[in-house]
Amino acid sequence: MNKRFLIGMVVCVLIFFAGWRWGFGSPIRLGVVESTIQNESHSNTAVALSRIAKVDSELVSSVASVESNPSEVEGITNTYSFSSNHVVTRIVIPNPEFKIFGTPQFESLAKTQFDNITINSKYLVDTNLYELKEVFKDFPAAMNSQFLYSGIYQVAVTTCTLEEVRQLIFNTRYQAMRDLDEANATPDAAERESKIERIKALAGAQLELYKSIQKETLEDGRQNLIKLYGELPKPIFQRLLGIELRLPMGRLPYP
């Protein structure tokens, strides 16, 4: 009797711990400690911005060549005029996977990516991805469509891009501050004033550019979601953007 009892107890304890380890837990929800500045772009664009200082000389000539061969270049060209002799052209080329945005194939890729970084992840999980999904549950048009994960992916891309732009805005201010400190050390008063004016004008223009990019990013994200679901109530969009993602979702594995 004793032997059987002991065997039974051991089996029960083993079952209990096995259940505790694999049955109770969803993936371990670890806090995600923010890393240092991310240099890699995780937005849905493949073009990084160049400093405005280069635009007047180097980029203007390439802009001319782009305009003369529009059929060879895909994407959107935005031109920002700060003054008659200060123009910035930004060419936005969406990442290739966005060519199939709004299709079941994209949805499948987005769902797989979501699962890979959440329930199937062996590493840190950004629990705020589940928060995003929760918000979509209050949005019937998304829940009834076949493109829930496409929407989650789009929101993640928008949020990460906005965060990158905030970083760029900070970097611009920081660099301007350092440049001004250096300019203030110039002994010649006229030269000093000229340098300070130039630095402020350049930084001001760059900040305006980044603010325009913020607005465009928001609007593009909004339009893409409307394309998917036919509508997008403002409160839902605000709730989605209010969720901070600590880790980007990454590019979709599309050739």
Partner 1 sequence: MKRLILVLSLCVVLFVFIKNNRPDLSTPLPGGGASKKVNNVNSDQSIKEKLPVRRVETLGALAGNGPMLISEESDLGLVTKIYQLTPSKSITEVVAPNPKVPLLGSVEYEVLAKQDYFESIQVETNLSELKEIFEDFPIAKQSEYLYSGIREAYVFKSKIKQLRDSDFLLSADQWKGPFEIEAVSNLVDRKLKAQQIKDRLDEDMNRILLDKADAPERFKQRMVRLYGDFPKPIFQRLMSIDIVAEPRELISP
The angle formed by the CA atoms of residues 18, 24 and 29, to the nearest 5 degrees, is 115
For residue 43, what are the contacts with CB-CB under 8 A and spacing of at least 6? 157, 160, 161, 164, 217
Decide if residue 208 touches partner 1 (CB under 8 A).
no
Classified as helix, coil or strand, 1 is coil
Q: Would you give the binding string for partner 1 spanning residues 129-148, x where CB under 8 A is met?
A: -xx---x--x----------
Alpha carbons 45 and 75: distance in angstroms, whole number = 9
- The terminus-to-terminus CA distance of the chain in angstroms comes to 65
In this chain, which of 208, 241, 250, 251 binds partner 1, going by CB under 8 A? 241
As beta bridge partners, residue 76 has 92
Decide if residue 1 touches partner 1 (CB under 8 A).
yes
Decide if residue 93 touches partner 1 (CB under 8 A).
no
Nearer to partner 1, 33 or 190 (CB): 33
Decide if residue 167 touches partner 1 (CB under 8 A).
yes
Instruction: Supply the minimum distance, in Å, between the C-beta of residue 130 and partner 1.
Output: 5
Contact between residue 101 and residue 150 where contact means Cβ atoms under 8 Å apart: yes
Decide if residue 12 touches partner 1 (CB under 8 A).
yes
In this chain, which of 140, 230, 233, 242 binds partner 1, going by CB under 8 A? 242
How many residues would you count in the chain? 255
The residues that touch partner 1, with contacts defined as CB under 8 A, are 1, 4-5, 7-9, 11-13, 15-16, 19, 23-26, 28-34, 36-37, 127-128, 130-131, 135, 138, 166-167, 170-171, 174, 235, 237-244, 246
